[in-house]
Amino acid sequence: MSSDAPELLLAHHLKALKLPTFLREHQKLARQCAVEGVDHVRYLARLVELELIDRERRMVERRIKAAKFPAAKSLDSFDFAAIPKLNKMLVLELARCEWIERRENVIALGPSGTGKTHVAIGLGLAACQKGLSVGFTTAAALVSEMMEARDERRLLRFQKQMAGYKLLIIDELGFVPLSKTGAELLFELVSQRYERGSTLITSNLPFDEWTETFGSERLTGALLDRLTHHVSILEMNGDSYRLAQSRAQKTAKAHP
């Protein structure tokens, strides 16, 4: 039998068991443990720990990819000083994701450019890192997809997918008015998620102007009743966060 046969067989078995970190690290770690005089139990313990760490990293990466964030913006990179009215302590508390476990909601309100999407993505990334499923979409895209799904007779399947997320982020609600059908479909989805999953909504409109988006006071009232039953409000009024960031970058380039 070839001297390589046991190693090849081990590699085959590790691939079959889907243990890529074992396969990649076992020889190097064995040599290291031999030098240190580490016994086989502690060697295996280290190898298992490496596999678990790497597996969790890959799972987080898959959740982030599945969420379809438009960009990877963490809360660590958010300049809270640029939006002084934003409650930083509340945002950091929300980043612990306990509100998602309680199936509560978050609504971020403020003019365009004040960092609402950045904060929403940051909270979504935090949820992915906590092992929670997240979906990200804009209100316009979500309604468009639901109407298309309805026309193709797959609406129930699409609604089930959207309702299944532990956290659904709906960005830019209020940028464009919704059709009567679109507003009703969005209300139906929010109702399906009520007390079953958390929804984070960003909007450039205060609550008293949401009727302009939904076209019906009755529908708007019913929607807000569900969204605000268990909710944290992030007030993000202030100068444009994007404009401030752009100016800061230009200044940094001009004065390296």
The 10s digit of each residue's pLDDT in 59-101 is: 999 999 999 999 999 999 999 998 998 999 999 999 999 999 9
The 10s digit of each residue's pLDDT in 168-216 is: 999 999 999 999 999 999 999 999 999 999 999 999 999 999 999 999 9
Give this prediction's pTM: 0.84
Listed range (22-26, 143-147, 204-208) with the worst mean pLDDT: 22-26
Task: Give the domains, in start order, of the chain with CATH numbers.
Answer: 5-62 (no CATH), 68-247 (3.40.50.300)
What order of strands is seen across the sheet that includes strand 167-173? 134-138, 167-173, 198-203, 105-109, 231-235
pLDDT at 95: 98
Closest by alpha carbon to 136, among 150, 120, 149?
Answer: 120
Distance CA(117)–CA(201), nearest Å, equals 9
Distance CA(63)–CA(66), nearest Å, equals 5
pLDDT at 182: 96
